Chains A and B, each alone.
Chain A
Amino acid sequence: MAGAYITGMGLACALGNDVASSLSALRQQKIPARPLQLDELSEPLAVSFYRIEDGGELFDASRFERVLAPVVRQAVVETGLSAAEIRALPVFVGSSCFSVGLSESTYADALRRQPDNAVPMPVCNYQRIACDVQRTLDCAGDTYAYNTACTSSANALLQAVRMLELGWYPHALVVGAELANRTTLTGFAGLQLIARTMRPFDAQRSGLVLGEGIGAVLLSRQAISSHNLRIAGGANNCDTYSVTTANPDGDSVASVLNQALHHTRLQPQQIRGIKAHGTATPMGDTAEALGLLHVLSELPPVTALKPYLGHTLGACGVIELVLYAAALRAGFQPAAAGFESPDPALGLQPLTTEAEARPGYYLLNQFGFGGSNTVLVLEKTTA
């Protein structure tokens, strides 16, 4: 059977520092956003933010590796791979930030000590997260780093599945990683996309709240008996309407949805549920809703996870897959927190209470700056 099986998962996010605690908090509909103030700017910036509660300083340069290590161990430990299999494990990473936080800290230190000799962007290394993973697990296989904005880790998943199908690797570790950094927080503030609360598909939606998290998924060509989730495939396309905004008519979203269904040989009526991208931006949600309605005339249950996690940008493909997959495995499709007022222009209302998750196919949407659209198809099997 084509596709790849999910044989291990790890997670650290605002909901919790592992999959089980995050799922429990999701079920309780916890919304862990907290106020965050950046005082270093000439005009202090106050935002809401979903942070990982790890007890560390938010911008500490050593934080990335400290949070990353237990997550990737969670993903690998439950599968029982041999040392040789782990050694050869390829690592696919999707992120928007990569080493920028470390670069900021290093540059800030240099500016304090020797401002005239400080070199901006002292660290520019897309490879760094993969190297941290390899050091943690003692693996040394191929690495791939994807930087396609908010679809980064979804694209890492998509292409890892294809390389597994080709037989290049028996297993692959896919990591989505996004930790707080000043560049992202201030960059989104400058774009005026930031809101205090996230209400995807709500008439009162006004923007997104940023979050951080690291997720890891171990994919395998062969099923392991106790696991019942398979990434069947998916699709990616490029919407050239605007570098920052999806075409609000929904055409490019519909197109990538159709491609994903075509690739997996599915009919729209076979879809049992949808994890929307749901950024709660006025135009983003409009494009997604209209695109979904173009393709699926009768929508299955739709949910959005960002009210629980914040927008974890390049990591959201893996992080939301982990949380959604854990919920499906537990037998439910989660409600989208914060939804109150239907938007008549959308024709879409997300779940406000849990729905049953029966075996079948589920879609996971991710859309990003640069016109990057990615849809993954997840199967909950009966095994």
Chain B
Amino acid sequence: MIGVISTGRYLHTLRDDAALPRLEQQLASVCREPFRRIDRFVQLALLGSGLCARDHTLAPDCAVYLGSGLGPLSENISVQEQLMRDRQLPKPFNFINTLGSSAGFYVARNLGLHGQNFFISRREASFEATLMAAFADFAAGAAQQALVGAVEEVTLPLAQHRQRLDLRDDAVVAEGSLWLLLEAHANAPKGRLELQRYAEFTELQNGLHSTWRIGDRLQCALGMSDKYASRLRQNLADAGPPGFNTEYHNSLEAVWLTDFVTHTSNSNLFVASGDEQRGWTLFHCRT
């Protein structure tokens, strides 16, 4: 069982091509030094992790797990335009910022961390993959404390962004940086988080039913078919419809979990995902 110490959330919804909000002022409140030559993806990572770590003492070996479906998209666009349209060598810091690990580096530097530092992607389930990696490292004793986050960037113009993601022309999208500070013990101020893996769907059903209480909330992650999602909801008293925001974000599980931890107490959230080949994963968050 893993304790949830705090959350850090930045989430911004876009419906049209209005300018993206500037982040410098908020960054100044969470950054120990003014970082130069960073892109928006790094800014988002610094902001969310900084909000999460604010008011908490982090161990120097606190691990960082950064998940993202799209990664540092705006910097990749800049580099590709420099190279393919302008036929120039990419500028060094543009190129460096295209790497997934750059954002994690700045998070670690800002917070004085030297522990494990990973960038992990699984398209629309990147936060799930990142949490699974963190849980594996907690179990192996390779981490005692971890910042686990999902960062997704939106680029303008929105029409191009939607085209890349194969979204409808009117799809509402969100950029975000959503983080949990976790520790390897159950007595944490914000709640606790459990991860269960099941080989069979019936085991997942049984696991869910054995802990379900009236008023608990169930979210079925993207990637779980409607057939299985509806079967999970059957016989669950007061499961209710999905209640979180639904604008497009590649790491929706991070939106759900951080929202739930931030805004509830004495409540349970179950996030289920999987299929017959992958097996089944159930996150149980108790605030």
Contacts and interface: CB of A to CB of B under 8 A. Distances in A.
Interface of A: 40-42, 45, 87-88, 90, 96, 100, 103-104, 107-108, 111, 118-127, 139-149, 151, 155, 159, 162-163, 165-166, 168, 182-183, 186-187, 189-191, 235-240, 243-244, 252, 255, 263, 368-372
Most buried by A among B87, B118, B129: B118
Contacts of B104: 148, 238, 370
Contact of A369 (B90, B96, B116, B197): B96
Contact of A119 (B102, B120, B163, B279): B163
Interface of B: 61, 64, 69-71, 73, 76-77, 79-81, 83-92, 95-96, 98-102, 104-106, 108-109, 112-123, 129, 132-133, 136-137, 139-142, 160, 163-164, 197, 275, 277-279
Contacts of A124: 70-71, 73, 76, 164
A143 B118 contact: no
B116 to A, nearest CB: 5
A108 B84 contact: yes
A120 B96 CA distance: 18
B102 A370 contact: yes
3 closest A-B pairs (Cβ-Cβ)? A370-B101, A147-B100, A140-B277
A322 B133 CA distance: 24
Contacts of A103: 76, 80
A168 B76 CA distance: 34
B89 A190 contact: yes
Contacts of B69: 126
A42 B89 CA distance: 9
A155 to B, nearest CB: 6
A108 B81 CA distance: 10
Contacts of A236: 116-118
Contacts of A87: 277
A148 B107 CA distance: 14
B164 A122 contact: yes
Contact of A126 (B71, B132, B136): B71
Given A121-B164, A126-B121, A182 B83 contact: yes
Contacts of A168: 132, 136, 197
B102 A255 contact: no
Given A144-B122, A235-B142, A255-B114, A187 B137 contact: no
Contacts of A252: 114
A316 to B, nearest CB: 14
A120 B123 contact: no
A318 to B, nearest CB: 16
B87 to A, nearest CB: 5
A46 B114 CA distance: 38
Given A126-B71, A146-B119, 6 more contacts: A96-B99, A143-B122, A187-B92, A235-B142, A238-B113, A371-B108
10 contacts: A96-B99, A120-B77, A124-B73, A142-B278, A147-B120, A148-B118, A159-B133, A191-B92, A252-B114, A370-B101
